[in-house]
Amino acid sequence: MRGAVAILIVVTLAGCGAGTGEGLDQNGVPFGSPGSDLSPTFASIQANVFGPICAVPGCHGGAAAQQGLRLDAGFAYANLINVASPRDASQVRVIPGNPDDSFIIHKLEGTQTLGDRMPDGGPYLQQSTIDVIRLWIANGALQ
């Protein structure tokens, strides 16, 4: 058991290529979630998921963000809503009102046909967290 935990820690700390795990507990849940802090609003998702988990150096934070997808505060919304993936224009990151066809949901759930599941290498978000993001999108992905 300790060996498995040690491997998980090494993989978690190996950088963006393997997912940093920053902002997630050992179960892939954003700290303070589910329920108490995370709600289906952009502000809540930005504060509890995109900012601390995705917008880290080498991943989706700063000017060198992967695939041009900056998810840090002040950039995330404009980089998500009705924006196509630069690798495949048919894959739209967030389609307001349509979580099933929003590329971000496929990337978070591991059902994507392009690239890897996110966060890259895990730990992955719990389905309850993804469901909050789904609900935000279903409700129109309002800012």
Asked if the structure places residue 50 within a domain, the reply is yes
Please tell me the total count of domains within the chain: 1
The per-residue pLDDT string of the chain (143 residues; one tens digit each, 9 = 90 and over) reads 444 333 333 333 334 444 555 555 544 555 544 445 899 999 999 999 999 999 998 899 999 999 999 999 999 999 999 999 999 999 999 999 999 999 999 999 999 999 999 999 999 999 999 999 999 999 999 99
> Contact at 8 Å (CB) between 49 and 72?
no
**pTM of the predicted model as reported, rounded to 2 decimal places:** 0.76
Asked if the structure places residue 52 within a domain, the reply is yes
Asked if the structure places residue 40 within a domain, the reply is yes
User: Which pLDDT score, from 0 to 100, does residue 37 have?
Assistant: 83
Give residue 78's domain range: 2-138
> Contact at 8 Å (CB) between 114 and 87?
yes
Asked if the structure places residue 65 within a domain, the reply is yes
Asked if the structure places residue 143 within a domain, the reply is no
